[in-house]
Amino acid sequence: MKLMKAMAWAKREFADGSVPDNKTVRRWVERNVIAGRVIDGNTYVFETEKAGVDSHVSQAVQALLRE
């Protein structure tokens, strides 16, 4: 799975005017609300993550699609 910058992910997943800030996305990653990584202070989200879908569900669907 590939990582993408948190703000690129947020802009993809949320409507204009509703995009959460980087701090919020980072908190979601740290609390495992969405799957991602903080690397050298930068926040990244796995490109397969979907806003509003539990991270575990998203991972299970991706695993099924790979089979």
Concatenating the DSSP letter of every residue in 14-66 gives S-TT-PPPHHHHHHHHHTTSS-EEEETTEEEEETT--TTS-HHHHHHHHHHHH
pLDDT digits (tens, 9 = 90+) for 16-56: 999 999 999 999 999 999 999 999 999 999 999 988 777 67
CA dihedral over 28, 13, 22, 24, signed as positive or negative: negative
What confidence score (pLDDT) does residue 61 get?
74
- What's the number of CA atoms in the CB half-sphere (13 Å) around residue 46? 15
Q: What is the pTM of this model?
A: 0.80
Do 43 and 28 contact (CB within 8 A), yes or no?
no
Q: CA 8 to CA 56: how far, in whole Å?
A: 21
